[in-house]
């Protein structure tokens, strides 16, 4: 009911009387008064005037079920929406539910993670109140070898929405880091569960640095946020909804073709590595190569000094710039 009252207030231009809300939503005046009080405690600025009613003046930038549902376009996801003030890791929450039979296209969003996970066993530092951490639980009916391509589909959506909010050119560092001014704004961790050679679930987890201004010493040289780079704060629930729109439209296409052919051109246009030298680490051995674009499997095409080309898969190598992160 709280989310309905909030949505109702957001739709109104000016004041709306308690009586009108009662009739529209079928709740008592006392219940409305209590919900309004809770909303105020959460940071909503709501004006209450005798005989005129209530007027929403300002919404806080919070990650709550009401805010997330308010911004999500109807029917964008066929699964369930889970919103946490704090959780160990949205990827872990999604995987626990996957094992318990949760439907695909379910969303797990958190304001804070206490055990956020990065790629290659790293930690993803996830403090509350500024950034956004979420995972999508999907159950795509595609061959297992296609699952890793979904990470690149997510990277395209993440790049598009980051660019929309930053208003500046954003790029992808292969396979799935989103880069603004050569600093990492978003990381993606995809995990898959399979049974008898078939995909049971894919969980795609994204961490976006949106409003954080201070980064730990060990990552400060390579990480930043949209706010830090542009000076503009980002409204988190709206950003999430915009990401999901960008992702779902590409996901539906991907499910039909089961490869990245419809996206290769877009991806290569946005690839920061193209033409640059990269240091590849394969089974502990370092190699310098020049990066080209990706192919329709999402592999990176690289060239050695003699001009010999080969392709590398993301699970197989890690790629770094020669003189820094990019």
Query: Which stretches of the chain bind ligand BTN, using CB under 6 A?
Result: 89-91, 113, 116-119, 122, 124, 133-135, 177, 187-189, 205-207
The residue among 64 and 90 lying less far from ligand BTN, judged by its C-beta, is 90
As measured in angstroms, the least distance from the Cβ of 109 to ligand BTN is 9
As measured in angstroms, the least distance from the Cβ of 128 to ligand BTN is 13
The residue among 117 and 250 lying less far from ligand BTN, judged by its C-beta, is 117
The residue among 18 and 205 lying less far from ligand BTN, judged by its C-beta, is 205
As measured in angstroms, the least distance from the Cβ of 229 to ligand BTN is 17
The residue among 59 and 273 lying less far from ligand BTN, judged by its C-beta, is 273
Q: Which residues of 156-181 are buried (b: 16+ CB within 10 A; e: fewer)?
A: bbbbbbbbebbeeebbbbbbbbbbbe
As measured in angstroms, the least distance from the Cβ of 124 to ligand BTN is 4
Closest to 278 (Cα-Cα) out of 249, 254, 235, 312: 312
Packed helices 18-25 and 2-11: angle between N→C axes, nearest 10 degrees: 120
What's phi and psi for 286, nearest 5 deg?
-95, 140
| Residues linked to residue 183 through DSSP beta bridges, in sequence order | 180
The residue among 36 and 158 lying less far from ligand BTN, judged by its C-beta, is 158
Place of tokens 């009662």: 22
Q: Cis link prior to 283 (omega < 30° from 0)? A: no
The residue among 119 and 276 lying less far from ligand BTN, judged by its C-beta, is 119
As a whole number of angstroms, the distance between CA 233 and CA 264 comes to 32
The residue among 21 and 326 lying less far from ligand BTN, judged by its C-beta, is 326
As measured in angstroms, the least distance from the Cβ of 119 to ligand BTN is 4
Expressed in percent and rounded to 5, the helix, strand and coil fractions of the chain are: 30, 30, 40
Strands 285-294 and 300-303: antiparallel
As measured in angstroms, the least distance from the Cβ of 13 to ligand BTN is 37
Where are any strands of DSSP class E within the chain?
45-49, 53-58, 81-84, 106-110, 132-138, 171-173, 177-180, 183-195, 198-208, 277-282, 285-294, 300-303, 309-312, 317-321
Number of other residues whose CB lies within 10 A of the CB of residue 317: 19
As measured in angstroms, the least distance from the Cβ of 89 to ligand BTN is 3
The residue among 173 and 228 lying less far from ligand BTN, judged by its C-beta, is 173
C-alpha distances in Å from residue 215, one per residue of 58, 114, 117, 221, 228: 29, 17, 17, 9, 10
As measured in angstroms, the least distance from the Cβ of 240 to ligand BTN is 12
Q: Which residue sits closest to ligand BTN, CB atoms considered?
A: 187
């Amino acid at each position: 009911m709280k989310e309905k009252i909030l949505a109702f207030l957001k739709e109104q231009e000016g004041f709306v009387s308690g009586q009108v809300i009662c009739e529209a939503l079928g709740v008592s005046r006392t219940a409305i008064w209590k919900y309004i009080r809770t909303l105020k405690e959460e940071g909503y600025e709501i004006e209450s005037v005798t005989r005129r009613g209530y007027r929403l003046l300002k919404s806080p930038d919070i990650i709550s079920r009401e805010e997330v549902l308010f911004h999500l376009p109807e029917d964008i996801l066929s699964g369930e929406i889970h919103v946490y003030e704090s959780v160990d890791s949205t990827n872990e929450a999604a995987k626990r539910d996957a094992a318990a039979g949760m439907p695909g296209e379910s969303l797990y969003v958190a304001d804070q993670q206490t055990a956020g996970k990065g790629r290659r066993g790293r930690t993803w530092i996830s403090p509350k109140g500024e950034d956004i951490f979420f995972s999508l639980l999907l159950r795509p009916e595609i061959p297992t070898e296609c699952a890793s391509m979904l990470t690149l589909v997510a990277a395209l959506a993440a790049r598009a929405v980051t660019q929309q909010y930053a208003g500046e050119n954003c790029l992808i560092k292969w396979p799935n880091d989103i880069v603004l001014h050569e600093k990492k704004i978003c990381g993606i961790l995809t995990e898959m569960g399979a049974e008898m050679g078939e995909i049971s679930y894919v969980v795609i987890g994204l961490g976006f640095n949106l409003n954080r201004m201070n980064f730990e010493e060990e990552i400060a040289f390579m990480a930043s946020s949209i706010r830090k780079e542009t000076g503009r704060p980002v409204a988190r629930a709206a950003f999430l909804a915009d990401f999901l729109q960008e992702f779902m439209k590409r996901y539906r296409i991907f499910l039909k073709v089961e490869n990245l052919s419809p996206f290769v051109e877009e991806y290569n246009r946005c690839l920061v590595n193209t033409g640059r030298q990269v240091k590849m680490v394969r089974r502990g051995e370092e190699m310098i190569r020049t990066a080209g674009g990706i192919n329709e499997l999402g592999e990176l095409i690289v060239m050695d000094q003699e001009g010999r080309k080969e392709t590398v898969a993301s699970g197989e190598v890690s790629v770094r710039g020669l003189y820094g992160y990019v």
